[in-house]
Chain A
Amino acid sequence: MINIKLDGKDIQTEAGKTILQVAKESGVHIPTLCYHKDLSPTGNCRMCIVEVKGGRFLQAACVTPVAEGMEIETSSEKVTRDRKLTLELMLANHPMDCLTCDVTGECELQDLAYEYRAKFPEWGTKGKRYQIDSDPNPFVRVDMNKCILCRRCELACAEIQVRDVWGVAKRGFSEQIVAGAGTNMLEARCESCGQCVAYCPTGALSNKLNYGMALAHQVRKVTTTCSYCGVGCQFDLLVKNNKVIGVSSNPNSPVNGMALCVKGRYGYDYIHHPDRVTKPRVRRYLLEGKKKEEIREQIEEKRGKPASDTPSAWDWVEAEWDVALEIVAEKFRMIKEAHGADSIGLLTSAKCLNEENYLMNKLARQVIGTNNIDHCARL
C-alpha cells in the first residue's frame, strides 16, 4: 500500500493503479473523453489532466500511475482552465451543427463543453475538411469532421471485435482516422458490428439506418434480449411513436457487455416491414364451407403464383380473430375425431418465448393428447 493526497485528502491505495482509478474509487470526478473503462487508456485527449505537485506538466490521470507521496489536485484553477482550453481547441476544429446533429444529447464532447462552459470560438471553426457520410458502409455513417481523434473506434475494433479495421493516418493537423490503408470500411474487412459507433463519443461515427429519426431524449429505451442466435446478447431497443427505430448497446448486458453483431445491432428493421401479417387470413374455401378435396385443382393452379384477379377458393381472405380461431378449433376437433390425436402435429418455435413453447407443449399433450411436437433444433 502507498499513501497519496488527493484534493487535500489522505488516501491509502495500491501501487500500480492510475490516478483516474484511485479518484473514481474515492468518489472524485475527473472528466474523461478518450478514456473508456472497456478499452486501453491512451491519454491522448488531455481532458483528464490533473496537477501533480512537483510535476513539470499537467498529467493525464488515465495513464499516470499513483506513486508514494504523490499530491494530486483534480480541479485546481490551472487544471480547469487547461481543460476548457483543450475543449475550445477541439471545438475550433468541429462543425457548429449541434442543432441538427444526430447525437445531440448523448455527445460526450457536448456534455463537457456544457460543464466547462466552452464555446465555439468567436472567429468560427475550421469548417468542413472531410466529406460528410464518407463511407459506403450501409450501417455506419462516417463524418470525420466531428472526429476528435480520441481513437476509441480504433481500440474498440482492435480490442473488442479484434478486427483492426480502423487506424490512424498522417500526423499533426492532418492526422485522421482511416479504415484499413485509407480504403472503405467493408474493404478493410469490417464486419459491421457497430462497436466503433457504440464507443464513439461524438457524432463522427453514427448509425445510418436511423439517421435523422430522433434525438436521444426523444426515444424510450427498452432493455431486451436479441432474437437471432443462441448467445443471448442483450441491448436496448430505441422506441419512438410505437416504432423501433434502433438498437443501442447496454453496458450491463450479462453476456455481451457493449458488444453486438451486425444482425443484433442493425437487423431490426424487419419488425416494421410492410410484409408483416397484421390480420388473420383464411383460405376462401373455408369460409364457403367447401372441402379441401374439392378444390385441389384450384390450389395447384394458384400456388406459388403472383396474386391475380381471378377469384380462387385458395385465395387468402382476411378474417376477424373469432372467425379464424373458430375455424382452427373446429378443424382440429374434426381431424382428431376422425383420425385420432396422433394425426395432428405441432411445430413449436425456437424463435418464440419459453412461455409460448410451454403452452405449445401443454396444448399438444393436455388438450390434443399427442406427443407429436417438435421444433427446428435439428435443422
Chain B
Amino acid sequence: MSNSMDDVAKEAKSFLIIGSNTTEQHPVFGTMLRRAVKFRGAKLVVADPRKIDITDFATLHLRQRPGTDIPLINGLMYIILEKGWEDKTFIDERTENFDEFKATVMNYPPDTVSKITNIPIEKLYEAAEILAKNSPMAVIWAMGITQHIVGVRNVMDLANLQMLLGNMGKAGGGVNPLRGQNNVQGACDMGGLPNVYTAYQAVTSDEVHEKFEKAWGTTSNTKVGLTVTEMVPGILDGKIKSLYVLGEDPVMSDPDTKHIRHCFAAIDFMVLQEIFPSETSMYADVLLPGVTFAEKNGTFTNTERRVQMVNKAIEPIGDAKPDWWITSQIAKRLLSGTSDRVQREAPFSSWDYADTSAIMSEINALTPSYGGITHERLLKGERLQWPCPTKDHAGTPILHTKQFTRGKGKFMPIDHVPPAEKPDDEFPMIMNTGRVLYHWHGGQMTRRAKGLMEVYNEALIEINPSDAEKLGMNGRKIVRVTSRHGQIEAKAWITDRVPPGMVYTNFHFPNASANELTHASLDPVAKIPEYKITAVKVELV
C-alpha cells in the first residue's frame, strides 16, 4: 500500500474497492471501511462481479463483466476528463506522458464501455462523479485485479486513475493493494523473488551484484531466475531437477492441479519444510518439520509495510525446529562441501546466527529500506513502516508525498485485452475463484481448526438462482463443474452473490479444489495466473 490502513479508513472521503473481497479476506480492515461509511459518511464504490458482503455498505455497486476492468477504469477516466474533474495541478507538477495516455482513454467513451462491461452508462457517470468529487479517494484492490493475464495493466491503470485525480502522496488517497498472506510483503522485501535481492535491488544491476558479492563473499548469478509458475512446469522440460519448498502447498495453490501433480511426479528431488503433511508432501523426498508462528521469534511485514514482532510463545513441538535454523543448517552443510564458493573473510559470508535478531542486523546492513528496523526498536514499542533507512528514522506511513520513486509519475496508456479463456458452447459459464472468511488458502491450517470447520466444512460452489433453475436443480445439491483442465464435484450454494453465468469456487478443500479447474495462462510481465476467469460447464450429479 502506498498509504496506511489508518489514514485510508479515517481520511478518505470516498473509496473504490475493485477486486477485493475486503470483509472476508482482510476482515479487520473491512470493518474499518464499514465504520468509515457508516459513521463518517464516506462514499464507497465497489466494482466486483460478485455481490460480496461489503456491497451492503456501497453507495454504488458496479457489476462489471469479468475481465473488463481496463475498459471500466478507462471509461471512468474518460468521464473525468470530459467533465474536467481531473487534478490539473498534480498532472502538471508531478506527472508526465499525459497526452499519450489521454489519447488512449479517449477510445473509451461511455457507450463503448457500457457495451464491454455491461454497466449502464448512467452508473458509469454516477461512479465517476462520486470518486472525483469526494477527494481524497483511496483505491483498494487485491487479487481480483492482479490475477488476470492483464494483472500488471490493471494495476497501472488504477495508478493512472489516482494520478489523474491527484490522489497520490496524501492521507486518505493512494494505491492500496491488500497483500494476501501475513508476510507476503516481507517475502518480497527480503528478496524472495527471482529478479531482485532484498528491497527490490535488481539482480541484473552491476552495482547491486557487486555489493552482494562483497558482502557475501561469492560470485553472483546475474540471470533473472524463474517464477513459481515457471519453475514447476520447468520440471517437465528438464530445466528444474530439484526444489526446496518452504511452507507452501503448490498442489493446492497453483493453477491446473492435474498438471502440477504431473510435474511434481517427475522431479528428481524435493525437500519440503512444513508443519503438516500437505497435499504437496506426497511428492516430497524429504519432509523437514518447521514450526508455527507461535514457536519462533522474528518479524512479519504487513500490507502497509509495517514491520512487527512475532514473539515466541511456546517451545517447538516435538523435534520440530525454527525454519531459520533449518535453512542455516542446509547452507552450512552445502558450504562445507564446496568451500571454494564463498570467501570467509567477507563481512556477511557466515551462517552462524545466534538468533533472528542477528539475521535482522545483516538485513539492516544490506537492505536500504530496512536499514533502521531492528528487533530492539520494535521490542521497545516503536512503530515502523519502511522505508526506514536509519536507526533514528521514524519510518514512512505514506509513500510518494513529494515525488515518485522514479521522479515524475508516468501515465501509461493502457488498452483492453480480453481474457485468455472465453466461454463457448461446451463451456458456457465463467468460474471465478478465491477464498472464504473461515478458511485460509490451501486450508492446511484452517481445516485443522475445529471451530472454523464447524462453520464451514466443505467446498461450496456459488451459483446464481437463475442458473440453478436452468439446470433443474429442484432441491438437488451436488453439481459437477468441468473446465478444459479438470473437474470437481461439490455442493452448490444457490445465491445471488454471483451473477447469472458465473460460479465461484474456493481452493480450501483437496477433494473439490478450484485449482483442479484453473489454467496457467500468465500475465506476460508478472507471470501471475488468470485465476479469476476459467470457462466451465456445470451439470447436475
User: How many angstroms between the C-alpha atoms of A372 and B230 in the bound complex?
Assistant: 10
Q: Is B125 an interface residue (CB 8 A)?
A: no
Closest to A189 in B: B53
- Determine if B253 is an interface residue (Cβ-Cβ < 8 Å): yes
Q: Taking the complex as formed, is A104 at the interface, i.e. its CB lies under 8 A from any CB of chain B?
A: no
Interface string of B321-358 (1 = CB under 8 A from A): 11110111111011101100110000001000000100
The reply on A270 being an interface residue by CB < 8 A is yes
B327 touches A280 (CB 8 A): no
Q: How far is the CB of A173 from chain B (nearest CB, A)?
A: 33
Chain B residues near A244 (CB, 8 Å)? 294, 313-314
Tell whether A345 pairs with B226 under 8 Å between CB atoms, given A230-B179, A267-B446. yes
Q: Is the CB–CB distance between B302 and A230 below 8 Å?
A: yes
In this assembly, does A353 line the interface, its C-beta being within 8 Å of a C-beta of chain B? yes
Is B390 an interface residue, CB under 8 A from the partner? no
Contacting residues, chain A, for B194 (C-beta < 8 A):
371-374
Which residues from 244 to 302 on chain B have a C-beta closer than 8 Å to any C-beta of chain A?
244-248, 250, 253-255, 265, 268-269, 271, 274-277, 282-283, 285-290, 292-296, 298-302
Q: Which residues of B contact A7 (CB under 8 A)?
A: none
Evaluate contact between B275 and A280: CB separation under 8 angstroms: no
Q: A342-B223, A346-B244 are in contact. Are A277 and B449 (CB under 8 A)?
A: no
Interface locus among A54-62, A71-79, A217-225: A217-225
List which A185-204 residues lie within 8 A (CB) of chain B. 186, 191-193
Q: Is the CB of A350 within 8 A of B183?
A: yes
Number of interface residues of B (CB under 8 A): 153
Task: State whether A138 touches B455 (Cβ < 8 A).
Answer: yes
Q: Are B451 and A359 in contact (CB under 8 A)?
A: no
In the complex, the answer to whether B197 meets A353 with C-beta atoms within 8 Å is no
Q: Select which of A266, A332, A377 is within 8 A of B449 by beta carbon.
A: A266
Assuming the contacts A262-B438, A325-B330, A359-B327, asked whether A255 and B275 have C-beta atoms less than 8 A apart, the reply is no
Residues of A with C-beta under 8 A to B300:
225, 227, 232, 353-354
Bound state CA distance, A259 and B29, in angstroms?
10
Task: Name the residue of chain B whose CB is nearest to the CB of A259.
Answer: B28
How distant is B273 from chain A, measured CB to nearest CB, in Å?
Answer: 8
B residues within 8 A CB of A193? 27, 31
CB contacts (< 8 Å) of B29 on chain A: these are 231
Q: Which residues of A contact B31 (CB under 8 A)?
A: 160-162, 193, 259
- Contact between B294 and A224 (Cβ–Cβ < 8 Å)? yes
Whole-angstrom CA separation of A244 from B477 in the bound complex: 39
Say what secondary structure dominates the interface of chain A: mixed
Known contacts A255-B28, A360-B327, A368-B334; A378/B228 CB under 8 A: yes
- The interface on chain A, measured as residues whose beta carbon lies within 8 A of the other chain's beta carbons, has a size of 117
Contact B242 A331 (CB under 8 A): yes
- Tell whether A64 is near chain B: CB-to-CB under 8 Å: no
Q: Inside 8 A of A170's CB, which chain B residues have their CB?
A: none
Q: Determine, out of B61-69, B164-172, B523-531, the stretch whose residues face the partner at the interface.
A: B523-531
A359 to B190, CA, bound (A): 9
Q: What residues on B are CB-neighbors of A300 within 8 Å?
A: 265
Q: Are the CB atoms of B191 and A361 closer together than 8 Å?
A: yes
Which residues of chain A are within 8 angstroms of B184 by Cβ–Cβ distance?
230, 350, 375-377
Q: Give the distance in Å from the alpha carbon of A114 to the alpha carbon of B262 in the complex.
A: 67
Verify if B495 is at the interface (C-beta below 8 Å from A): no
CA distance A260 to B31 in the complex (A): 10
B118 at the interface (CB under 8 A from A): no
Is B314 a contact of A243 with CB atoms below 8 Å?
yes
Report yes or no: B282 in contact with A372, Cβ–Cβ below 8 A: no
- Chain A residues with Cβ below 8 Å from B248 are 347, 349, 351, 375-376
Residue A271 contacts which of B26, B190, B229, B292 (CB distance < 8 angstroms)? B292
- Interface contact A277-B277, CB-CB below 8 Å: yes
CB-CB contacts of A275-307 with B at 8 A, as 1s and 0s? 111111111001000001000000110011000
Complexed CA–CA distance, A223 and B313 (Å): 8
**Residues on the A chain within 8 Å of B34, using CB:** 161-162
In the complex the two chains form, is B304's CB within 8 Å of A232's CB? yes
12 A-B Cβ contacts within 8 A? A159-B35, A162-B34, A162-B57, A225-B182, A270-B275, A270-B446, A271-B292, A279-B318, A359-B327, A365-B218, A374-B226, A379-B531
- 13 additional A-B pairs beyond A230-B184, A299-B265, beta carbons within 8 Å, are A161-B31, A222-B311, A232-B303, A232-B308, A239-B313, A266-B449, A276-B318, A278-B317, A325-B333, A367-B335, A370-B225, A373-B194, A375-B248
